[in-house]
Amino acid sequence: MSEYGAIEKEARVFTELCEQNDRIDPTLFETFGVKRGLRDKDGKGVLTGITNISRIDAFEERDGKKVPCDGKLWYRGYNVYDLIKGLRGKRYGFEETAYLLLLGDLPTAAQIKEFNDTLVRCRDLPTNFIRDVIMKAPSRDLMNSLTRSVLTLASYDDSVGNNSLQTQLEQCLKLISVFPMLAVYGYHAYNYYVNESSMYIHRPHPELSTAENLLLMLRPDRSYTPLEAHVLDIALLLHMEHGGGNNSTFTTRVVTSSGSDTYSVMAAALCSLKGPKHGGANIKVMEMCDDIRAHVHDLTDEDELKAYLGKIVDKQAFDRKGLIYGMGHAVYSLSDPRAVVFKGFVQQLAEAKGRKADFDFYNAIERLAPQVIAEKRHIYKGVSTNVDFYSGFVYNMLDIPVELYTPMFAVARIVGWSAHRMEELVNVDKIIRPAYQSIMKTRDYLPLEDRG
């Protein structure tokens, strides 16, 4: 029994009381006009602010009517398609795109060199931090380990209480620089102490990109191919930012608005991201695909595959939630532009890795799942593949352990969080205070001896 086992019985009783006393009649949400999620029933997001950092397009006006369109994602006014196309496979885009999101424009050659040099100077952890923090109490939940490391870094920063914009930006740059180290070293500590495997800590090389250093630090022999690094770089670029309205970015805005420090803000964002409905979605895709492989005899038989997908939607298979993970998105309608642009790179990597059969399997699910969902459910918008459908497959081909899937998301998304933190600090000096409608009924107080 764990050290917490002594309260398991009491906790179970308390949980039952919570479920009993906190349950609200679901019709009341509609009665009071409460709209949860990224989209309401009208197909619009719940407006909570304005931003100049990014934008998502899922609909367009035609003849005065709002109709679905192929999705578009914009970073500071630039289509992500163009940003990736501009790289032409000749250079890495993470750092250049981070500059764009943080500072508002594409850098010149001199500016990106200065920015890269700054990131390299920030890419250092306090003396003995790896031993005293990362290797202490390692956990399979690397997001918890990452959050603990971020909060502990505040203890080493004498400027943690300095509210100047320069200090806030410096702290954001430091965290962007060290996140890959915190994530990968956290995995190695877990792998050594919990899995009883080998321990190795490789230092990042100053001349390499973030994607290259991630693979170098992760692998025992430090080796990687240019294709592997470029595909990982594209994955990071596509996960950096997403319209401002996602859960973890809104968390960043909310905690920033309270006046909290950078480390606490990023820790809060990490706690939001780790949820399976947000940053953990690609893990669910991988688990679902493993389940399909285990129950479908012939993966090339589309009738058999479609029938099993139908069982998943009918809550008769996999986790019985009725969801085909990686399909559909709360904002996009016809297509997720991240998935569209990423798919070509996924195919290149699959062919290079001898995983074409696996790619064909994913491609079949992508084609059949919308048909199954359309047949089984009444839907008000199109169902398309989202980026989570392919990102887990890519990480698997890159031999990135599943425990690192969500931390890899965080390595990218901290750039967007930082951009939104700075935008909030620059423009707004008022706390975000959402409203809840109280449906509580007043009651007369009963003395303890009269409570039955």
Report the half-sphere exposure of 290 (CA within 13 A, side-chain side): 11
Residue among 161, 180, 181, 184 nearest 171 (CA): 161
Is the backbone of residue 143 left (phi > 0), alpha (psi -120 to 50) or beta? alpha
Task: Please tell me which residue, 411 or 30, carries the higher pLDDT value.
Answer: 411
- Letter for the amino acid at 2? S
Quick: pLDDT tens for 14-48.
Answer: 567 565 765 758 777 577 665 555 555 555 667 78
Give the model's pLDDT for residue 28.
74
What mean pLDDT do residues 346-365 have? Answer: 97
The answer to whether residue 190 scores a pLDDT higher than 90 is yes
Confidence of residue 362 (pLDDT cuts 50, 70, 90): very high
Task: Please tell me which residue, 94 or 375, carries the higher pLDDT value.
Answer: 94
Residue count of the chain: 452
Quick: pLDDT tens for 79-123.
Answer: 999 999 999 888 999 999 999 999 999 999 999 999 999 999 999
- Compute the mean pLDDT over every residue in the chain, rounded to the nearest whole number: 90
DSSP conformation class of 335: B
Helix (H) or strand (E) holding 14: helix 8-22
Give the model's pLDDT for residue 8.
64
| Strands 65-75, 78-79: pairing kind | antiparallel
Give the model's pLDDT for residue 2.
47
Alpha-carbon distance of 141 to 310, in angstroms, equals 32
Give the model's pLDDT for residue 34.
56
Quick: pLDDT tens for 67-79.
Answer: 878 889 999 999 9
Give the model's pLDDT for residue 428.
86
- Letter for the amino acid at 63? D
Burial of 110 (0-12, 13-18, 19+ CB in 10 A): exposed
Quick: pLDDT tens for 320-352.
Answer: 999 999 987 767 777 888 989 999 999 999 999
Quick: pLDDT tens for 208-223.
Answer: 999 999 999 999 999 9
The answer to whether residue 6 scores a pLDDT higher than 60 is no
Alpha-carbon distance of 61 to 361, in angstroms, equals 36
Residue among 396, 399, 355 nearest 220 (CA): 399
What mean pLDDT do residues 269-273 have? Answer: 97
Report the half-sphere exposure of 129 (CA within 13 A, side-chain side): 21
The answer to whether residue 372 scores a pLDDT higher than 50 is yes
pTM: 0.90
